[in-house]
Amino acid sequence: MAYGDVQALWNVSLEVEEGSIVALVGANGAGKTTLLKSICGLIDPVAGRICLHGDDVLHLSTTDRVERGIILVPEGRRLFSNLSVLENLWLGAYTGRARPRFDESLERVCELFPILEERKSQRAGLLSGGEQQMLAISRAPLRSRIRSGIRCPSRDGRSGWPRS
């Protein structure tokens, strides 16, 4: 990965087993966000491969990567605060494959975060900070057929992933 003439990452090798949760930890400026953006297709790497289930996805667009299950949940939540919880979730299912399975995906989200079902008509901006984080994380599985996502940790180091 490089920004112009400045190389940001060298010799990165990462393997994530299906169903696992991995924390990418490092100092500010170490390249965590750069790596995640390159995996998602937001930045083109200088060289190398990015594989999902053995398939090289480097040539795929960001949208196609989302369809395959590579999803970034950035820090800062980035919710539509004037829209309801349900409307935010609906917007999270924006891909062509996700919309037909919205009801099924919504059911999975409500099993994971029951409070969101209780708050589905409430404006997202009125949720507590923790509930807003649940909503932000919940949009990821709605976008694809694969239950996975990448979450950027907050500045205080807490990942925001649900505990099992």
User: For the segment 57-95, what is each residue's pLDDT rounded down to a tens digit?
Assistant: 999 998 888 888 787 776 666 888 999 999 988 877 766
pLDDT at 83: 95
pLDDT at 10: 85
Q: Say whether both 11 and 53 belong to one domain.
A: yes
pLDDT at 160: 39
Whether residue 69 lies inside any domain: the answer is yes
pLDDT band at residue 116 using 50, 70 and 90 as cut-offs:
very high
What is the CATH number for 30?
3.40.50.300
pTM here is 0.65
pLDDT at 122: 96
Whether residue 162 lies inside any domain: the answer is no
Q: What is 71-130 written as a DSSP string?
A: -EE-TT----TTSBHHHHHHHHT-STTTGGGHHHHHHHHHHH-HHHHHTTTSBGGGS-HH
Whether residue 50 lies inside any domain: the answer is yes
Which range of residues forms the domain containing residue 58?
2-75+147-151
pLDDT at 123: 96
Whether residue 115 lies inside any domain: the answer is yes
Whether residue 104 lies inside any domain: the answer is yes
Whether residue 160 lies inside any domain: the answer is no
What is the number of structural domains in the chain? 2
User: For the segment 36-49, what is each residue's pLDDT rounded down to a tens digit?
Assistant: 889 989 888 888 88
Q: Say whether both 9 and 38 belong to one domain.
A: yes
Whether residue 164 lies inside any domain: the answer is no
Q: Say whether both 64 and 93 belong to one domain.
A: no
Whole-number Å distance between alpha carbons of 49 and 61 = 14
